[in-house]
A and B are shown apart, each in its own frame.
Chain A
Amino acid sequence: MARQIGDVILDLRNISLSFGGVKALTDISFDVREHEIRAIIGPNGAGKSSMLNVINGVYRPQQGEIIFRGQHRRDMDTHEAAAAGFARTFQNIALFKGMTVLDNLMTGRNLKMRCNFLQHALWWGPAKREELEHRRKVEEIIDFLEIEHIRKTPVGRLPYGLQKRVELGRALAAEPQILLLDEPMAGMNVEEKQDMCRFILDVNDQLGTTIVLIEHDMGVVMDISDRVVVLDYGRKIGDGVPDEVKNNPEVIAAYLGTQH
Chain B
Amino acid sequence: MFYRETGQFKTSYAADQQIFPIRQDRIGIGILLFVAFVVIPLTAGNYWFNAILIPFLIFALAALGLNILTGYAGQLSLGSAAFMAVGAYAAYNFQVRIEGMPVLLSFVLAGLTAAGVGILFGLPSLRIKGFYLAVATLAAQFFIVWCLTKFPYLSNNSSSGVISVPGVEILGFRFDSPQSRYLLVLTIVALLALAAKNMVRSTTGRAWMAVRDMDVAAEVIGIRLMRTKLLAFAVSSFYCGVAGALYAFCYLGSVEPDGFSLDLSFKILFMIIVGGVGSILGSFLGAAFILLVPIFLDIALPWFSELLHLPFDGATVSHIQLMVFGALIMFFLIVEPHGLARLWQIGKEKLRLWPFPH
The answer to whether B195 and A121 touch across the interface, beta carbons within 8 angstroms, is yes
Considering residues B202, B205, B235, which has the most beta carbons from chain A within 10 angstroms of its beta carbon?
B202
B214 contacts the other chain (CB 8 A): yes
B334 contacts the other chain (CB 8 A): no
The answer to whether A82 and B13 touch across the interface, beta carbons within 8 angstroms, is no
Query: Helix, strand, loop or mixed for chain A's interface?
Result: helix
Binds A, one of B123-131, B151-159, B219-227: B219-227
The answer to whether B235 and A95 touch across the interface, beta carbons within 8 angstroms, is no
The answer to whether B210 and A96 touch across the interface, beta carbons within 8 angstroms, is yes
The answer to whether B198 and A98 touch across the interface, beta carbons within 8 angstroms, is no
The digit string for A93-106, where 1 denotes a CB below 8 A from any CB of B, is 01111110001001
Do A98 and B278 form a contact, CB below 8 Å, given A78-B220, A110-B221?
yes
Residues on B with C-beta less than 8 A from A97 are 213-214
A236 contacts the other chain (CB 8 A): no
A202–B308 Cα gap in the complex (Å)? Answer: 74
Partner of A96, one of B13, B199, B203, B213: B213
Residues on A with C-beta less than 8 A from B221 are 82, 87, 107-108, 110-111, 170-171, 174
A148 contacts the other chain (CB 8 A): no
CB-based A-B contact count at 8 angstroms: 103
**Shortest distance from the beta carbon of A57 to any chain B beta carbon, whole Å:** 8
The digit string for B16-29, where 1 denotes a CB below 8 A from any CB of A, is 01000000000000
Nearest B residue to A108 via CB reads B221
Nearest A residue to B197 via CB reads A123
**Shortest distance from the beta carbon of A181 to any chain B beta carbon, whole Å:** 13
Partner of B235, one of A81, A117, A170: A117
Residues on A with C-beta less than 8 A from B217 are 90, 94-96
Residues on A with C-beta less than 8 A from B13 are 132, 135-136, 139
**Shortest distance from the beta carbon of A19 to any chain B beta carbon, whole Å:** 16
Partner of A121, one of B198, B207, B210: B198
The digit string for A3-25, where 1 denotes a CB below 8 A from any CB of B, is 00000000000000000000000
The answer to whether B17 and A132 touch across the interface, beta carbons within 8 angstroms, is yes
The answer to whether B214 and A95 touch across the interface, beta carbons within 8 angstroms, is yes
**Shortest distance from the beta carbon of A53 to any chain B beta carbon, whole Å:** 9
The digit string for A66-104, where 1 denotes a CB below 8 A from any CB of B, is 000000000000110111000110100011111100010
Partner of B220, one of A58, A117, A123: A58
B315 contacts the other chain (CB 8 A): no
Find residues 186-222 in chain B having any chain A CB closer than 8 Å to their own CB: 195-196, 198-199, 202-207, 209-210, 212-214, 216-222
A158 contacts the other chain (CB 8 A): no
Considering residues A79, A98, A108, which has the most beta carbons from chain B within 10 angstroms of its beta carbon?
A98
The answer to whether B17 and A110 touch across the interface, beta carbons within 8 angstroms, is no
The answer to whether B220 and A56 touch across the interface, beta carbons within 8 angstroms, is yes
The digit string for A110-121, where 1 denotes a CB below 8 A from any CB of B, is 110101010011
A88–B218 Cα gap in the complex (Å)? Answer: 11
Partner of A58, one of B207, B209, B216: B216
A79–B207 Cα gap in the complex (Å)? Answer: 14
Residues on A with C-beta less than 8 A from B76 are none
B271 contacts the other chain (CB 8 A): no
B307 contacts the other chain (CB 8 A): no
Do A122 and B209 form a contact, CB below 8 Å, given A56-B220, A82-B222, A111-B221?
no
Residues on A with C-beta less than 8 A from B235 are 117
B231 contacts the other chain (CB 8 A): yes
The answer to whether B220 and A135 touch across the interface, beta carbons within 8 angstroms, is no
Residues on B with C-beta less than 8 A from A217 are none
Nearest A residue to B196 via CB reads A121
Considering residues A81, A96, A127, A135, which has the most beta carbons from chain B within 10 angstroms of its beta carbon?
A96
30 contacts between A and B (CB under 8 A): A58-B216, A58-B219, A58-B220, A82-B221, A83-B222, A87-B221, A95-B217, A96-B212, A96-B217, A98-B209, A98-B212, A99-B206, A99-B209, A103-B206, A107-B206, A107-B207, A107-B210, A107-B218, A110-B210, A110-B221, A110-B223, A113-B203, A120-B203, A121-B199, A123-B198, A123-B202, A128-B17, A131-B203, A132-B13, A139-B13
Contacts A107-B218, A122-B198, A139-B13 given; 12 further ones with Cβ under 8 A? A87-B221, A90-B217, A95-B213, A98-B213, A107-B206, A107-B210, A110-B206, A113-B203, A120-B199, A120-B202, A131-B202, A135-B17
